[in-house]
Amino acid sequence: MKTLAQKLEPVGPKRILALDGGGIRGALSLGYLKHLEELLRKQHQNEKLLLSDYFDMIGGTSTGSIIAAALAIGMSVDEIKQKYFELGTKIFGKKYKWYKIFEIDDLFKAKYDDKALVQELQNVFGDTLLGDQEKIKTALVIVAKRADTNSVWPLNNHPMGKFYDTGDGDNKNLPIWKCVRASAAAPTYFLPQSIEVGGDNGFAAFVDGGVSMANNPSLQMLMVATLKGFPYRWPMGEDNLMVVSVGTGMTKWKKLPQKISKSHLLNWASNLPDMFMQDASWHNQLIMQWLSNSQTGFEIDREVGILDEDILSDDPNRKKGLITYLRYNVFLDVDEMNRRFNPTKPYTQSEIDNLAAMDNAKNCQKLYDLGFAAGAQEVLASHLPAQFKI
């Protein structure tokens, strides 16, 4: 297997795994990842192959960063599933109590006490630092949002990164658990995370990376891997670069026009976060399909379709894209779910709404089973090109 140093080099085909944010719905991603891990083990005839062995870069946003970091230190999907279920039950089970006067200020800032989250992250990642070249098996990208400057920070472990070793708030000395906690600091759910970054202020406040265009981090990670401002500079090309993107389930926006016209200010305010996150997700999906001749492309809208005739490429026949791109996700929609999975007892809208909640830890097993069932349909051996075999 390749060492971390070999994976970072801009030589040979490169493989990127990008994991969406979505709270407890990360359990759905794990169902997909189980299928992916099994397929890769069969392809390489190695029952012990890990996703960190295969992928040269693994990253994620929010809950996706938790799973990504666990994969990057060499955990199997089954190991992560066990830890994730325990973590979900603990972190989304301890809300701030109204009668604790000493926490009254926090009560109006966040829904959940983050002590359980911090403790569980420390249990999983221990004292591992972002710059640990032995414990971290692959390139790792943790997408967080710096609240005080409103900028996206893709924290990564490349030794040649501009902020990796500056002598003042080095990225290499940041504990993994703290980076992940910063990425998962979802506003209204958890308080922001402060991290020492050096400079004039010394500390920066971070919130959930999903409060940006990178809740689906695939495009952000592609930029980290290829833009000259970052140290990776991996070459583009359908045979050179593969991005596998895994979602946490996506709701379909269905609002009757008459209901929209009657909405009041509070109604609009409550819907805006979901609207913005859906916009970002669709925009990222459009760009990634535009860059690729994707085997998993789906209709963006009825005007542009699936972009199969609009591939950005230097191929004169427009058949090969600038990347190989695979996207796996489930639409949490009554009609779609009942059509695809044909349950003995059809889903109701209230059941779908319950599954879509980002903080209902009781749904862990249901979400994992859903992702596993979707993975059985979507994650195919034919999706993994021979040129990307290690």
Give the active site residues.
62, 208
SS (H, E, C) 220-250: HHHHHHHCCCCCCCCCCCCCCEEEEEECCCE
Beta pairing partners, 305: 301
In one-letter notation, the amino acid at residue 350 is S
Cα 290 to Cα 301: distance, rounded to the nearest angstrom: 13
Residue owning tokens 């999706």: 383
* Helix (H/G/I), strand (E/B), else coil: 301: strand
Q: Helix 115-125 and helix 63-72: axis angle, to 10°?
A: 20
Cα 107 to Cα 98: distance, rounded to the nearest angstrom: 7
Q: Both tokens of residue 160?
A: 């040649």
CA-wise closest residue to 369 among 346, 343, 349: 343
Q: How many CB atoms lie within 10 A of CB 345?
A: 7
* Helix (H/G/I), strand (E/B), else coil: 255: coil
Contact 51, 41 (CB under 8 A): no
The residue count for the chain: 390
Cα 21 to Cα 386: distance, rounded to the nearest angstrom: 30
Cα 262 to Cα 268: distance, rounded to the nearest angstrom: 10
The sign one gets for the Cα dihedral 170, 175, 178, 179 is positive
Q: Helix 176-183 and helix 115-125: axis angle, to 10°?
A: 140
